[in-house]
Amino acid sequence: MNGLKMVLKTIIFTLLILSIPGQVFAVDIAKGQGIAKRVCAACHGKQGISRAPVFPNLSGQKQAYLLKQLKDFKAGVRSSNNMQGVTANLSEEDMSNVAAYFAAHGKVEASARKVSQSLLKKVDDKLNICMSCHTRSGISQNDKFPNLAGQKDQYLQKELEKFKKGKRKDTTMSAIVRQLDKKDIKNLSKYFSRAGKIKIQ
Ligand code: HEC
Ligand code: HEC
């Protein structure tokens, strides 16, 4: 009987260990903030809103999305000379903390007033393709799909072109961009960058 109890205990203990998700450390936003100020601010801005159009804004972006991108840069799955260098010096814990910090540091709000009727007309059809994941307003409802609203116009355009050329790979987005021509990419990037504003929190 005792032997059976021991076996049951072992099984329960093993199941408990297995049920703990991969991330065993608690996310520490204060540590993330420290890294953001020391390492990221130079390019992405003091508040995670960058000054140059080639550096994406990070504040208010989805936490799971940010973390995936950092891991992809570190693993070389997504290429960027700048970000490869940056992530080489970050542990998985650092990346979790800094992703949590930026996600919490801002909130993307709709600012549809900045979208002209003529621009809306140009993208109206294509927005139906983006809607299911990014929503028509570019503020996504799922942690895995990035917000597009309020992001830098030039950055969005560059990323869509990279998906198109196969330089950035993602099963979903690589298939989507086949339905877009150069003009669509330009108009959609302009539309989403204007459709929202990042409010620092
Ligand atoms: C030397 C400049 C530089 C520094 C420092 C830097 N970045 Fe970047 N970061 C970039 C560039 C350039 C890109 C765009 C890469 C591309 O072309 O895809 C980028 C992209 C990103 C992305 C992808 C965003 C998206 O919307 O997909 C994340 C996330 C990111 N950086 C996080 C960080 C974090 C966190 C730090 C600090 C630990 C940091 N970066 C430091 C230049 C920098
Ligand atoms: C079925 C879901 C889905 C649809 C539909 C979709 N996307 Fe995406 N999109 C994603 C995912 C997932 C990613 C993140 C890819 C990764 O992890 O690198 C993404 C990433 C992006 C990025 C990169 C953002 C950044 O910060 O680097 C852009 C730009 C983008 N999508 C634009 C669009 C546009 C424009 C459309 C419509 C024409 C669209 N997407 C339709 C799922 C989708």
Q: What is the pLDDT of residues 135-159, one digit of tens each?
A: 999 999 999 999 999 999 999 999 9
Encode burial over 83-99: b for 16+ CB neighbours within 10 A, e otherwise.
beebbeebeebbbbbbb
Question: Using CA of residue 170, residue 175, residue 177, residue 181, what is the dihedral sign?
Answer: positive
C-alpha 154/C-alpha 119 separation (Å) is 16
State residue 112's pLDDT score. Answer: 78
Per-residue confidence (pLDDT) for residue 25, from 0 to 100: 77
Determine the average pLDDT of the residues in 50-64: 97
Does pLDDT of 18 surpass 50? no
Residue 8 has what pLDDT? 56
Question: How many whole angstroms separate alpha carbon 91 and alpha carbon 97?
Answer: 10
91 lines ligand 2 (CB under 6 A): no
Q: Are 100 and 172 in contact (CB under 8 A)?
A: no
The pocket around ligand 1, CB under 6 angstroms, is made up of 35, 39-40, 42-44, 54-56, 58, 66, 69-70, 80, 82-83, 86, 98, 146
What's residue 80's pLDDT?
97
How many whole angstroms from its chain centre is CA 66? 4
Token pair recorded at residue 170: 């993602």
Which atom of ligand 1 is closest in space to residue 87's alpha carbon? 38
Give pLDDT, residue 17. Answer: 45
CA dihedral sign of residues 25, 47, 153, 112: positive
Average pLDDT, the chain: 92
In tens, the pLDDT along 26-53 reads 999 999 999 999 999 999 999 999 999 9
CA of 129 to the centre of ligand 2 (A): 10
Distance CA 190, CA 151 (A): 9
| Length of the chain measured in residues | 201
Of the candidates 190, 201, 179, 112, the one whose C-alpha atom is nearest the C-alpha of residue 151 is 190
pLDDT in tens, 76-123: 999 999 999 999 999 999 999 999 999 999 999 999 788 999 999 999
CA distance 36 to 97: 10
